[in-house]
Amino acid sequence: MITYTSDVSDLTEGDLAGFFAGWPQPPSAAQHLAVLRGSYRAVVARDDGRVAGFVNMISDGVLTAFVPWLEVLPEHQGRGIGAELVRRILAEGAHLYSIDLVCDEELRPYYERLGMTALTGMGVRNRAACG
């Protein structure tokens, strides 16, 4: 059974194995844990205690937020976990003016089904910062 929590205080680096499949340079487990603990909000999905997915939000806490990561372990994908994580993180920021995220073009329909609108964005990636 999948359970969801916004409490990440009990997470350990070992709980976060297997994420970032296909990333050219994934963050280390220590970085991953620090990001979740340092986020404005984070929601974790657990399947019988094992972390199956997570989403996090960074924010000024007043008007704006950004959702940098949504990840579901490959063996748990296709079960609605990601959609539920997005619904929950958007609910956590419902009082804010804007919540933005950046995704690859093929993921636009996924986020549009969850009520998000396509925007134009720009970014820089420093893969050397991970690991």
pLDDT along the chain (131 residues), means of 10: 96 95 92 97 96 98 96 96 98 96 93 93 85 77
| pLDDT at res. 120 | 87
Half-sphere exposure of 10 (CA within 13 A, CB side): 8
| pLDDT at res. 90 | 97
| pLDDT at res. 121 | 84
| pLDDT at res. 39 | 98
d(CA 6, CA 114): 20
pTM over 0.85: yes
| pLDDT at res. 114 | 95
Scanning the chain, the segments in alpha helix (DSSP H) are: 29-38, 81-92, 108-113
Helix (H, G, I), strand (E, B) or coil at 50: strand
d(CA 92, CA 96): 9
| pLDDT at res. 112 | 95
